[in-house]
């Protein structure tokens, strides 16, 4: 095998964000842009010789072009076996599962998650380590530093691999294996969930609709729900992955999964509705005329762990990202286990799971998962909910309302202001920081501020520190307003405001969320001057 060394000039903008490096497809198409970043990853790893690399992506535009280049570069950089998913289709949780199962050195997942796809859309690259989880910050920073000085990359001179044919292709001692990206994941789900109970559920008059949003989970969901569990044909819609996701924005929330939401709130809707994002790690849960807030979903899953075979012996602890509502804390208190609070991004859960501190983790951004892999897992959450339904024989809304009666309700909403000028966004955050010293004890109607600070995190396992992970305004009654700038966008800046209010009184638990939070929404604007500074009268997305 002939290995070429190609000289190249470094780029200065290859810093990974909350979840890998995300840029416009056009940027990745620039000469050597992809190659430089991949070489920077490989240069930042040590001991890869002869080891296995897992490779696949969410099927978006540029997936296959990138895969062919990465196979050749991985072989040139010393990997001994490249496990590439058939047709390049591998969801993020399935990649995590495969890395762990085959004890791979690591994996590269090609995805920009829920960002739009297609030639005019986004592309992304994530590197996952041997535990199956996202690279920790120490590694992503090392990759970034390397990318700024790189002067060449290595690539093997071999033909493209036919990704449609399962099997092994050998180049001397080196192997490229095209494997089925669905099987291992489905097998893992079978060890966790009571498939026989679910078959009975689907054999009854229970009706479900799953919207794969033309993204990666389609083949997984079709296989699990329709082929394995006997759900009616047509239960899984939009299930063929498309390079541009059919022009849709594959983000399972009230705005971008509107078709599913409209259907679930219509006459004759199904009992259960669900959707996942571009790379399959997110989920949205809906009941008949009912939306489950992701923070509540985490709490409900934790409270009902006994319903699921893989967890029935107990859960070690819970972790939630800081902006996620405190509903999970109530469950942890009840169960007598710890609830950890981490910065936004799944990578912060890895150490806690590896250290056996937590079993179930979640983020308000439609992410839930457990230590079965080291990524959030959309289909896992959906199967968990289905098991709870099968076990309790209650509807989605009954499950959630009963949960509120027992634990209280954490009214919760996130308001996103997308594509604002980066200088304006930074100035807005600094303006809030300038008020830190004067906010303590300040009253806003019935709310009094107890703490105003930047969330800084020290990892309890390895002691690593991460600072400025969101501004917290915490009130004496436990209500919170959090301000954060997104780390995944590719256009301008996105300001996220997270608003939370706890309600223990049952008679006050059935208000509209935005109405219940209206005082706090107003306070968020008073403190942040959002309308004045951004010129935007309302958020772009409300979840």
Give least dist CB 485 to ligand G1P, A: 8
Report the partner that residue 19 touches, choosing among ligand G1P, Zn ion, none (CB closer than 5 to 8 A by kind).
ligand G1P
Burial 89-108 (b: 16+ CB within 10 A, else e): bbbbbbbbbbbbeeebbbbb
User: What is residue 466's three-state secondary structure?
Assistant: strand
User: Is residue 377 at the binding interface for Zn ion, with CB under 5 A as the rule?
Assistant: no
Q: Residue 239 or 366: which CB sits closer to ligand G1P?
A: 366
Segment lying near ligand G1P (by CB under 6 A), choices 7-15, 340-348, 382-390, 450-458: 340-348
Q: Is 321 in the site for ligand G1P (CB under 6 A)?
A: yes
Are 79 and 53 contacting, i.e. CB atoms less than 8 angstroms apart?
Answer: yes
Minimal distance in Å, beta carbon 488 to ligand G1P?
A: 3
20 contacts 126 by C-beta, under 8 angstroms: yes
Binder of ligand G1P out of 469, 488, 493, 543 (CB under 6 A): 488
Among 58, 87, 281, 377, binds Zn ion (CB under 5 A): 281
* Stretch 88-117 residues interacting with ligand G1P (CB under 6 A): 113
363 contact, one of Zn ion, ligand G1P, none, CB 5-8 Å limit per kind? ligand G1P
Q: Give the DSSP letter string of 285-307.
A: EEETTEEE-HHHHHHHHHHTGGG
Give, in degrees to the nearest 5, the angle at Cα 210 between 207 and 214: 155
Contact positions with ligand G1P (CB under 6 A) in 359-398? 363, 365, 367
CB of 466 vs ligand G1P, minimal distance in Å: 13
The alpha carbon torsion through 138, 139, 140, 146 (nearest 10 deg) reads 110
- Comparing CB distances to ligand G1P, the nearer of 109 and 520 is 109
Q: Is 194 in the site for ligand G1P (CB under 6 A)?
A: no
Burial of 331 (0-12, 13-18, 19+ CB in 10 A): buried
128 near ligand G1P, judged by CB under 6 A: no
Please state, in angstroms and rounded to a whole number, the distance separating the CA atoms of residues 262 and 269: 9
The binder of ligand G1P chosen from 486, 490, 513, 540 (CB under 6 A): 486
Q: How far is CA 233 from the centre of its chain?
A: 28
Task: Give the catalytic positions in this structure.
Answer: 113
- Could you say whether residue 19 binds ligand G1P (CB under 6 A)? yes
Residue 106-145 contact track with Zn ion, rule CB under 5 A, x = bound: -------x--------------------------------
- Select the residue whose beta carbon is closest to Zn ion and give its number: 113
Given phi > 0 = left and psi -120 to 50 = alpha, else beta, which region is 90? beta
Q: Is 364 in the site for Zn ion (CB under 5 A)?
A: no
The distance in angstroms from the start CA to the end CA of the chain is 52
Q: How far is the CB of 17 from ligand G1P (least distance, A)?
A: 6
| 139, 21 contact by CB (below 8 A) | no
Please state, in angstroms and rounded to a whole number, the distance separating the CA atoms of residues 463 and 440.
29
Chain Cα centroid distance, residue 198: 25
In the shown chain, the binding pattern of residues 258 to 277 toward Zn ion, with x for contact by CB under 5 A and - for none, equals -------------------x
Which residues form the interface with Zn ion (CB under 5 A)?
113, 277, 279, 281
């Amino acid at each position: 095998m002939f290995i070429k060394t190609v000289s190249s000039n470094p780029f200065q903008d290859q810093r990974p964000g909350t979840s890998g490096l995300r840029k416009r497809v056009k940027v990745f198409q620039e000469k050597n842009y992809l190659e430089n970043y991949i070489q920077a990853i490989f240069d930042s790893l040590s001991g890869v010789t002869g080891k296995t690399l897992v490779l696949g992506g969410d099927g978006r535009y540029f997936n296959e072009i990138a895969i062919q280049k990465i196979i050749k570069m991985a072989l040139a950089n010393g990997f001994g076996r490249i496990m590439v998913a058939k047709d390049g289709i591998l969801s993020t949780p399935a990649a995590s599962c495969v890395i762990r199962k085959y004890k791979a050195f690591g994996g590269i997942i090609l995805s920009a998650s829920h960002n739009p796809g297609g030639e005019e859309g986004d592309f992304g690259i994530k590197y996952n380590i041997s535990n199956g989880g996202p690279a920790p910050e120490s590694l992503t920073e090392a990759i970034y530093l390397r990318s700024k000085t790189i002067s060449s990359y290595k690539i093997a001179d071999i033909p493209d691999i036919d990704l449609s044919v399962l099997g092994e292709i050998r180049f001397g001692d080196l192997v490229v294996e095209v494997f089925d990206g669905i099987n291992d994941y489905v097998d893992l789900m079978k060890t966790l969930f009571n498939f026989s109970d679910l078959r009975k559920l689907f054999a009854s008059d229970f009706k479900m609709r799953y919207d794969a949003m033309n993204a990666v989970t389609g083949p997984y969901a079709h296989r699990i729900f329709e082929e394995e569990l006997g759900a009616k044909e047509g239960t899984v819609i939009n299930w063929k992955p498309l390079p541009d996701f059919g022009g849709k924005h594959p983000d399972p929330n009230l705005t971008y999964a509107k078709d599913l939401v409209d259907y679930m709130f219509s006459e004759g809707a199904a009992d259960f509705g669900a959707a996942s994002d571009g790379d399959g790690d997110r989920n949205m849960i809906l009941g008949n005329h009912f939306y489950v807030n992701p923070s509540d979903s985490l709490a409900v899953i934790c409270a009902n762990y006994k319903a699921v075979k893989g967890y029935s012996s107990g859960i070690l602890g819970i972790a939630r990202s800081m902006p996620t509502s405190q509903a999970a804390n109530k469950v942890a208190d009840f169960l007598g286990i710890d609830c950890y609070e981490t910065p936004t991004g799944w990578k912060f859960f890895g150490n806690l799971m590896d250290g056996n501190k937590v079993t179930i983790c979640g983020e308000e951004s439609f992410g839930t998962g457990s230590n079965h892999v080291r990524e959030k897992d959309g289909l896992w959450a959906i199967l968990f909910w289905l098991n709870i339904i099968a076990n309790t024989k209650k509807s989605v809304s009954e499950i959630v309302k009963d949960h509120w009666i027992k634990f209280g309700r954490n009214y919760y909403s996130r308001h996103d202001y997308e594509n604002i000028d980066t200088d304006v966004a930074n100035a807005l955050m600094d303006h809030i920081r300038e008020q830190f010293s004067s906010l303590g004890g300040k009253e806003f109607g019935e709310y009094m501020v107890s703490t105003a600070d930047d969330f800084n995190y020290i990892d309890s396992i390895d002691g690593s520190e991460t600072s400025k992970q969101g501004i917290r305004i915490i009130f004496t009654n436990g209500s919170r307003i959090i301000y954060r700038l997104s780390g995944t966008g590719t256009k301008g800046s996105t300001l996220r405001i997270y608003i939370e209010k706890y309600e223990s009184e049952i008679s006050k638990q059935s208000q509209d969320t935005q109405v219940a939070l209206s005082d706090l929404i107003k306070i968020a604007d008073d403190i942040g001057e959002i309308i004045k500074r951004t010129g935007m009268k309302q958020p772009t997305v409300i979840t």
